[in-house]
């Protein structure tokens, strides 16, 4: 009886490599819906197809689609509205407009302070430093848009921010555009550039104001400030913004809800 020829090692390796990693079916459907969101098939604020239509499209049960949508809703990527359907979440919605702004007045809730008054100090195209490029997943020297602004509440300068945005995604962003838009900045990014920030990571530390920072925030040099570095991501964890803010906390505090 002829012996079975030994399997070629390279073929065996290729076969093993071709085997997809197992993931539950609803997770696969979640990934497909994310692809459609990232590709702009459904814009922020628009309704997505019904669970029944998505089940037919992906050839799975309605329950599988429902579980995928449940997770996307928990991640604040989709919003269910009773009797109306499921919609792509947007920063323009009242209840999530400032969900990434954690600085609140000591004597009252966040809504009591009203929207920030924004003063744009600079908005220009420049080249990414090695550090900015690493954080934003770019190459050193790639174009970025750099913005510096002061946010004030009731006429009091409270936050000094520096933002770095990928130049390709935010091509054409101007000082006038940043200053003229009255709603949340992230809502403008959605509307004007099709970029939705879906989550962020932050690092906090205490610092002392240097002379320039003290002048812009109307505090004495050496005043204690809260430094907050944020990296904001769009779909599939693509970094789209580096933001470094200096916060006055003499009558405000940084609030975070943990669960």
The pLDDT tens digits for 50-88 are 999 999 999 999 999 999 999 888 877 888 888 889 988
pTM to 2 decimal places: 0.74
Mean pLDDT of 32-44: 84
Please check whether residues 120 and 231 belong to one and the same domain.
yes
Quick: pLDDT tens for 231-252: 999 988 899 999 999 999 998 8
Q: Which residue has the higher pLDDT, 221 or 96?
A: 221
The CATH number given to whatever domain includes residue 53 is: 1.10.10.10
Domain of residue 136, residue span: 98-254
pLDDT band at 113 (very low <50, low <70, confident <90, very high): low
Please check whether residues 122 and 59 belong to one and the same domain.
no
In a domain, 60, yes or no: yes
* CA–CA distance, 174 with 123 (Å, rounded to integer): 6
In a domain, 81, yes or no: yes
In a domain, 3, yes or no: no
The alpha carbons of the chain give a radius of gyration, in whole angstroms, of 23
The count of structural domains within the chain is 2
Please check whether residues 82 and 115 belong to one and the same domain.
no
Residue 140 has pLDDT above 90, yes or no: yes
161 phi and psi, to 5 degrees? -125, 140
Residue 10 has pLDDT above 70, yes or no: no
């Amino acid at each position: 009886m002829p012996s079975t020829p030994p399997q070629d090692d390279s073929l065996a390796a290729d076969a093993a490599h071709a085997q997809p990693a197992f993931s539950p079916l609803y997770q696969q459907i979640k990934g497909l819906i994310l692809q459609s969101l990232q590709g702009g098939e459904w814009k922020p604020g628009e309704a997505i197809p019904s669970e029944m239509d998505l089940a037919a499209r992906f050839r799975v049960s309605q329950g599988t689609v429902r579980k995928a949508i449940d997770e996307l809703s928990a991640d604040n990527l989709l919003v269910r509205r009773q009797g109306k359907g499921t919609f792509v979440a947007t920063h323009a919605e009242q209840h999530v407009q400032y969900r990434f702004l954690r600085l609140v007045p000591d004597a009252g809730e966040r809504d009591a302070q009203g929207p920030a008054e924004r003063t744009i100090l600079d908005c220009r195209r420049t080249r990414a430093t090695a550090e900015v490029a690493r954080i934003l997943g770019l190459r050193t020297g790639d174009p970025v848009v750099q913005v510096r602004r002061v946010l004030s509440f009731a006429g009091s300068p409270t936050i000094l921010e520096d933002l770095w945005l990928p130049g390709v995604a935010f091509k054409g962003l101007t000082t006038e555009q940043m200053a003229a838009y009255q709603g949340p900045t992230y809502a403008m990014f959605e509307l004007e550039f099709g970029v939705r920030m879906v989550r962020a990571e932050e690092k906090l530390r205490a610092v002392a104001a240097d002379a320039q920072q003290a002048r812009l925030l109307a505090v004495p040099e050496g005043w204690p400030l809260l430094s907050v570095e944020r990296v904001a991501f769009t779909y599939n964890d693509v970094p789209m913004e580096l933001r470094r803010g200096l916060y006055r906390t003499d009558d405000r505090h940084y609030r975070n809800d943990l669960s």
